[in-house]
């Protein structure tokens, strides 16, 4: 399992600059928002789904201020019926616990099993913010550097209209 230290090392190797800030445990967006006041960047909601058969998993990144409608997401993804993946699946594929889901956890998906969908609305922001595999800190980085990170880890990803 690769943790935050290895993540920071990889970001440095890739030349990705980020702003790091610690905060109390923030397993939900509602809790995390109180610690983001005055911080740079659009904060993201990161949702980990599985398909009906349980043989495919998806990480969906959306604007934290938007309401999530699972049926609308199912319709946009064209992957059939979706449900939230269990904590066991989250640990198996991303090596994170609920409340710490992040695209940075893809460094643990060495078989590139998880497909990533990014809300096109996030392209309107220069900076995005995510947990660094733990929910007691957040990282803010340029959107273009998130793409650089995704290209490096090798998981398939695409920009979609979520709403």
Strands (E), 7-132: 18-22, 42-51, 57-63, 82-84, 114-119, 127-130
Query: Which single residue is written with the structure tokens 């595999």?
Result: 133
Number of domains the chain contains: 1
The pLDDT value given to residue 110: 94
How deeply is 123 buried, as exposed, middle or buried, from its count of CB atoms within 10 A (0-12, 13-18, 19+)?
A: exposed
The pLDDT value given to residue 163: 66
Record the tokens describing residue 150, joined without a space: 């995704």
pTM reported for the whole predicted model: 0.92
CATH code (residue 64) = 3.90.960.10
The pLDDT value given to residue 29: 78
* Residue 9 structural domain: 4-160
Question: Mean pLDDT for each 10-residue chunk of the chain (163 residues)?
Answer: 85 96 84 75 92 93 84 79 95 94 96 95 95 92 98 96 75
């Amino acid at each position: 399992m690769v943790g935050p230290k290895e993540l920071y090392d990889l970001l440095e190797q890739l030349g990705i600059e980020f702003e790091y800030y610690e905060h109390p445990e923030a397993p939900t967006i509602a809790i995390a928002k109180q610690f983001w006041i005055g911080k740079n960047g659009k904060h993201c909601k990161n949702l980990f789904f599985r398909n009906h058969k349980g043989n495919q998993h998806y990480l969906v990144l959306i604007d934290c201020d938007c309401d999530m409608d699972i049926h609308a997401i199912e319709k946009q993804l064209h992957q059939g019926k979706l449900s939230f993946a269990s904590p066991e699946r989250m640990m198996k594929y991303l090596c994170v616990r609920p409340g710490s889901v992040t695209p940075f956890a893809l460094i643990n998906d060495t078989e590139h099993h998880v497909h990533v969908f990014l809300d096109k609305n996030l392209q309107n922001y220069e900076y995005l913010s995510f947990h660094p595999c733990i929910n007691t800190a957040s990282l803010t980085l340029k959107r273009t550097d998130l793409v650089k990170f995704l290209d490096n880890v090798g998981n398939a990803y695409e920009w979609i209209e979520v709403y």
